[in-house]
Amino acid sequence: MILLVIFLCGSFLISPSLGSEDLVSQCQSNYLDLLRKHSSLQEKNLEKYAQIIQCQRVHSEVQNKYTEVLQKLNDCNVKYDKLQPKPLEVDTLRAFITQQKEEIELLKYQIGELKEKCELGKLTSQFREDIAKLAEIVKNGEPPRSEVANNDNQENIQAAENTNSNNKTETVEVKTEEIPTTQEDNSRNQTKVIPQPSDRCPESQDYRDILQEIQIPGTSPFKVNCFADEDIGSGWMVVYNKVSFSFAFSRPYEDYERGFGEVSTKADDEFFIGLERLHLLTSEKPYEASLYYDEGLTKCDHFVVGNRSEGYVLRNIGWYTGGSTMGLSQGTKFSTFDRDEDGHADNLAMKKGYGWWFDQNYTRTKNLILLIRRTD
């Protein structure tokens, strides 16, 4: 309206010569024209305002969709993280697979040993019977009583049949003749002495590693790797052989108790003779121990392992030389991932992937080779 008044005043001032009627008519015409333009501008503004409202609505919808998509993306990320296997689970799965393979190999070995023992048992029984018969022949100078009795019975039966056939009653005397024995026969009938398995590794050997059968009184024989070295001498028994970055020793407590692996003379063949055998060996006879690990070699002049009820604790390790971190500490119990007895806040057996006597000063090792030797 201000613009309208200014325009009318201007028109009045500019055209003073015009008549009043003409002036009023012209002002009205201008006013109507301005009204039309103002109305047109208002319509355009309303259209623009409507467009702005529409844009705001679209923007709000897009913002809502963006938020929804972002939420879905976050949900997908969470699900993806859940689906991703954890490193520890992967390591545990690998260790389990390796463990199953080792158990299969161990079962195959045990089946083979059982077959050999069954065949050997049959042969041994037959051999013992033959020895008993030969011993009786050598002692009495005649066949075994059972055979003589059988021969007597056959002769008596034959004599009785002859008597019945002839309708005569005769007393048939059966005489047994002595079987002469010569010096040659006696030499043949001598019992062959079978050497029994030893209870220790030899004090000297021609090779660095040899396989020997060991027997603890009251138990079955088992194979061990007997080791000799210029630095530590001969007579050593390899009881724990673990190589770097291996999952073969990630096993439960029961496996460590009975032992596992294929005992051989190869450096990369992993095995453990068993906690129970270590207890029986070291509790009956005096032993010393040597430990090969990443940092070098350490020796202790005593090595005594307790029984199962004691957690196969290291009863005595004596004095050790050759390093400040033996990796063994007196009074330490044996720990595995399913039986944590190391006294640490962490389960070191699970963390490191093998069972051991973890002490308070234990340091990380990749290779572990434990040897023991009789000292009497």
Mean per-residue pLDDT of the chain: 76
| Model pLDDT for residues 132-174, shown as the tens digit of each residue | 777 666 666 555 444 444 555 555 545 545 544 444 434 334 3
**pLDDT for res 139:** 60
Q: What is the DSSP string of 56-107?
A: HHHHHHHHHHHHHHHHHHHHHHHHHHHHSPPHHHHHHHHHHHHHHHHHHHHH
Intra-chain end-to-end CA distance of the chain, in Å = 126
Q: What is the DSSP string of 5-30?
A: HHHHHHHHHH-TTS-HHHHHHHHHHH
In a structure prediction context, what are the per-residue pLDDT tens digits for the chain, which is 376 residues long? 555 455 555 554 544 545 677 788 888 888 888 888 888 888 877 878 788 888 888 888 888 888 888 788 878 877 776 666 555 566 667 667 766 776 676 676 667 666 665 555 566 667 667 777 776 666 665 554 444 445 555 555 455 455 444 444 343 343 434 444 444 444 444 444 445 678 899 989 989 999 999 999 888 999 999 999 888 899 999 999 998 888 899 999 999 999 999 999 988 899 999 999 999 999 999 999 998 877 778 889 999 999 999 999 999 998 877 765 556 888 999 999 999 998 888 888 988 899 999 887 776 667 889 999 999 9
Cβ–Cβ contacts within 10 Å for residue 342, how many? 22
**pLDDT for res 26:** 81
**pLDDT for res 144:** 47
The three-state secondary structure class of 52 is: helix
**pLDDT for res 303:** 95
Residues 87, 359: Cα–Cα separation, whole Å: 26
Instruction: Please enumerate in sequence order all residues whose Cβ is within 8 A of that of 339, keeping only pairs 6 or more positions apart, or say none.
Output: 252, 253
**pLDDT for res 135:** 66
Residues 280, 331: Cα–Cα separation, whole Å: 18
Q: Which of 363, 357, 334, 358 minimizes the C-alpha distance to 344?
A: 358
Q: What is the DSSP string of 172-218?
A: PPP-PPP----HHHHHHTSPPPPPPPBSS--S--SSSEEEEEE--TT
| Model pLDDT for residues 326-346, shown as the tens digit of each residue | 568 889 999 999 999 988 888
Residues 337, 189: Cα–Cα separation, whole Å: 58
